[in-house]
């Protein structure tokens, strides 16, 4: 079985969907199991949810490193490596990682991004899709490379943009799809599949 570490910064709804897909009633002979949930924010709501799900948690607060990214990432690596993960799944982890960290976990890292990549890398994806007048939006799970939100796309899901949508309306519609997409990509990734698909 592949050991999966999940990195979060917030509410952790994607983390919960990933953990449940590996451990819940429907998990069956899932090829992965959660070994760690790590947050860079001590007050992230997802930490409590992870603990309730019986997954070990760690916190590395980026604010303790006063902008020293290298020291922050060394602390992240020191916290993660004892769990010997095979997969690092970023799920709403809102820190940009340097090539050094990404190289350390090369070929093991996944991220979910709330847009139809390659459109709208970075922040405020839903607002940008609405302002552009796009008819559809969605989410992507991709492999993490040194290019921000730029690694190979492994899966995508689409939703319509409806008239008068606010960014929050659209985010909620996309999030429902994120919770379906990410577990499916993770499962395939743990099985060694690297192709791209759409749900």
Rounded to a whole number of angstroms, the minimum distance from the CB of residue 125 to ligand GAR is: 7
Residue (2 or 179) nearer to ligand GAR, CB: 179
Instruction: Determine the interface stretch with ligand GAR among 21-29, 77-85, 111-119, 130-138 (rule: CB under 6 A).
Output: 111-119
Ligand-binding site membership of 69 (annotated) = yes
Rounded to a whole number of angstroms, the minimum distance from the CB of residue 44 to ligand GAR is: 8
Instruction: Give the Cα-Cα-Cα angle 111, 115, 117 (nearest 5 degrees).
Output: 75
Site string for ligand GAR, 91-110 (x = CB under 6 A): xx------------------
**13-23 vs 167-190: helix axis angle to the nearest 10?**
30
* Interface with ligand GAR in residues 163-192 (CB under 6 A): 175, 178
What b/e readout covers 99-117, taking b as 16+ CB neighbours within 10 angstroms? eebbebbeebbbbbbbbbb
What b/e readout covers 129-164, taking b as 16+ CB neighbours within 10 angstroms? bbeeebeebbbbbbbbbeeebebebbbbbebebeee
Q: Residues 113, 126, 142, 179: which is the catalytic one?
A: 113
Ligand-binding site membership of 192 (annotated) = no
Do the Cβ atoms of 137 and 170 come closer than 8 Å? yes
* Interface with ligand GAR in residues 132-161 (CB under 6 A): 139
Residue (31 or 167) nearer to ligand GAR, CB: 167
Question: Would you call 126 a catalytic residue per the annotation?
Answer: no
Do the Cβ atoms of 53 and 23 come closer than 8 Å? yes
Ligand-binding site membership of 97 (annotated) = yes
Tell whether residue 13 is a contact of ligand GAR (CB under 6 A): yes
Dist. CA 38–CA 52, nearest whole Å: 14
Q: Which residues are catalytic?
A: 113
Which residue numbers belong to the known binding site?
Answer: 12-14, 69, 94-97, 111
């Amino acid at each position: 079985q592949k050991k999966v570490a999940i990195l979060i910064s917030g509410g952790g709804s994607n983390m919960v969907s990933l953990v449940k897909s590996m451990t819940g009633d429907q998990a069956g002979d899932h090829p992965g199991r959660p070994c760690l949930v790590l947050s860079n924010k001590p007050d992230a709501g997802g930490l409590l949810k992870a603990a309730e799900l019986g997954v070990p948690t760690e916190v590395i607060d980026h604010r303790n490193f006063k902008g020293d990214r290298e020291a922050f990432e060394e602390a992240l690596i020191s916290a993660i490596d004892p769990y010997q993960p095979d997969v690092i799944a970023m799920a709403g982890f809102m820190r940009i990682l340097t090539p050094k960290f990404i190289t350390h976990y090369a070929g093991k890292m996944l991220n979910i991004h709330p847009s139809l990549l390659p459109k709208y890398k970075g922040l405020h994806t839903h607002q940008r899709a609405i302002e552009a007048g796009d008819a559809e939006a969605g989410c992507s799970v991709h492999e993490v490379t040194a290019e921000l939100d730029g690694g190979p796309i492994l899966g995508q899901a689409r939703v319509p943009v409806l008239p008068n949508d606010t960014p929050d309306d659209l985010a909620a519609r996309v999030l429902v799809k994120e919770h379906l997409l990410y577990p499916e990509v993770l499962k395939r990734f743990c099985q060694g599949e690297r192709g791209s698909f759409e749900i």
